[in-house]
Chain A
Amino acid sequence: MTMKTQFITIPERFSQKLLQLPESGMGYQIVKVKLNSGRIFDHLKVFNATLLEWWENEPINTQDIIKLDLASI
């Protein structure tokens, strides 16, 4: 099943964190995101340490992101 996606800008504190961490490939990082609801989303993509690829029909307030780390392979 393929979902339409959109790009959302992650909070600056997470951008700065990602810039301290290695890339997964040229220009992108594969990450795990935890929301303050407790939901965890794994293997998402972040581009340029700023743009998170998110589902188009899944509402999100970026301030709800409480944790963002590189995904484990």
Chain B
Amino acid sequence: MSIYPTVNFQEIQPLNKTLDTKVLNEDGEHLSDQGGAIDAPIQLANGSNHYIRLSAFKNDKRIDQENKCLLPGSFTTTMEDFMTLMVNRQMPGSVPHMHDPLERYALPSILPINWVFNIQPKQNDEFQQGIVQAGFGRHGGGIECYFAKGTSLHTFIPPPVEFS
């Protein structure tokens, strides 16, 4: 056992990540029953839908570039939620969590999102889908998908596209 006390970064710079935080929808209504993806039931991909991974890094390491797939334990959003983000980026006056990926997906980084990775899981690839919970001082509210087992080979559709 260490003789030194554990420094909990939360005490110095609170993460402000509350597991029971209620999320508001666009109408201001609480999505009180909508938890994050890891709390959601497992469902099977239909083989047609696309999922989007947003990243600050062109060499995102959760994308297996050799086998063209998503590593186990990785998150994406849905194509629909990504398109909501993109549409709102064109709308003047939209609130930050509707057009800013850092806000919508409650990402703790100060690094900007620069890259978009298109994933099309094979039929029966397992995933869980939920609502991004507020955290790190950010709103959340976007859709997140968690692939505990990753995706099948050749489900990443290259190349990554620059996010603007």
Q: Contact string, A1-30, partner B, CB cutoff 8 A, digits 1/0? A: 111000000000001000101110111101
A-B contact pairs, 20 of them (CB 8 A): A21-B73, A23-B62, A25-B75, A25-B105, A25-B108, A25-B132, A25-B144, A26-B75, A26-B76, A27-B56, A27-B60, A27-B107, A38-B2, A38-B3, A40-B4, A41-B9, A42-B8, A42-B9, A47-B56, A49-B62
Chain A residues with Cβ below 8 Å from B57 are 27, 47-48
Total of A-B residue pairs, C-beta within 8 Å: 90
Complex Cα gap A23–B62 (Å):
9
Contact-size category for A: 20 to 34
Main secondary structure of the interface of B (DSSP, over half): loop
Q: Which 8 A-B pairs have the closest CB atoms?
A: A22-B73, A26-B75, A43-B9, A40-B6, A38-B4, A42-B8, A38-B2, A48-B57
**CB contact under 8 A between A48 and B55, given known A3-B13, A23-B74:** yes
Q: Is B54 an interface residue (CB 8 A)?
A: yes
Q: Is B77 an interface residue (CB 8 A)?
A: yes
Chain A residues with Cβ below 8 Å from B105 are 25-26
